[in-house]
Structure 1
Amino acid sequence: MTESTSPSANTVTWWELPVTEVARAKEFYGTVFGWTFTSFGQDEDYAGVEAGGALVGGLYKAPPDSPTAPGVRVYVLVTDLEATLAAVEAAGGSVTKPRTFIAEGMGWWAEIADPDGWWLGLTTDNAARD
């Protein structure tokens, strides 16, 4: 993987595609788009997607009861995750998953729902302020 420039704050920085079988999806998307894949440990239900030498998204095994309608997940990079989570709640949304460590060098993520219940991911490279 090659070094790339850092994305700007308040932009989408990651996406995930739901799939039925990760191995079959890797073969398909690798053939169609030339994507390569990276593992995040022992989890066979998830694969990172690399395009143009950069880690840009992921494939995840969708729950068996999920519809097959479009379901791309996106993550927005934020500078201050706790302030953003507070703003979500103040605006009538909810935090569905609080700050969670991803891995060394990859930062933290969280999940929110807007007032209508639609999901959105957040990510940050910044540690929580005390």
Structure 2
Amino acid sequence: MNQHGKINYIELPCRDLAATKAFFSEAFGWGFVDYGPDYMAITDAGIDGGFYKSERCARTEQGSALVVLYSNNLEQTLQQVVAAGASVNLAIFSFPGGRRFHFIEPGGNEYAVWSE
């Protein structure tokens, strides 16, 4: 439901739309709707959003916001992410409230996955 003043949609840069689509479909079961050659919307990802074609990417080292996904089984999700083609740039580590790891997906963006 749309709510006034609440985050409603997130758009992310992407160097390779086809590779990003294949990765998130395989690793997390996300769906996509293509809107021409330079944009695709995300479905079944927990929040509405999309990817737009860009030579830039979202990385924390460049000051970007970090999209963090949740997992019921962190080790299994790590294996899925690697099998789907991501590279792990921060191995599993503990932080107050849980554990997490960071990865770079084939489109160039950095994400994290956390668990209690």
Q: Which has the higher contact order (CA 8 A, sep 6+)?
A: 2
Structure with greater helix percent: 2
Specify the structure having the higher radius of gyration (Cα): 1
Query: Normalization by structure 2: what TM-score?
Result: 0.46
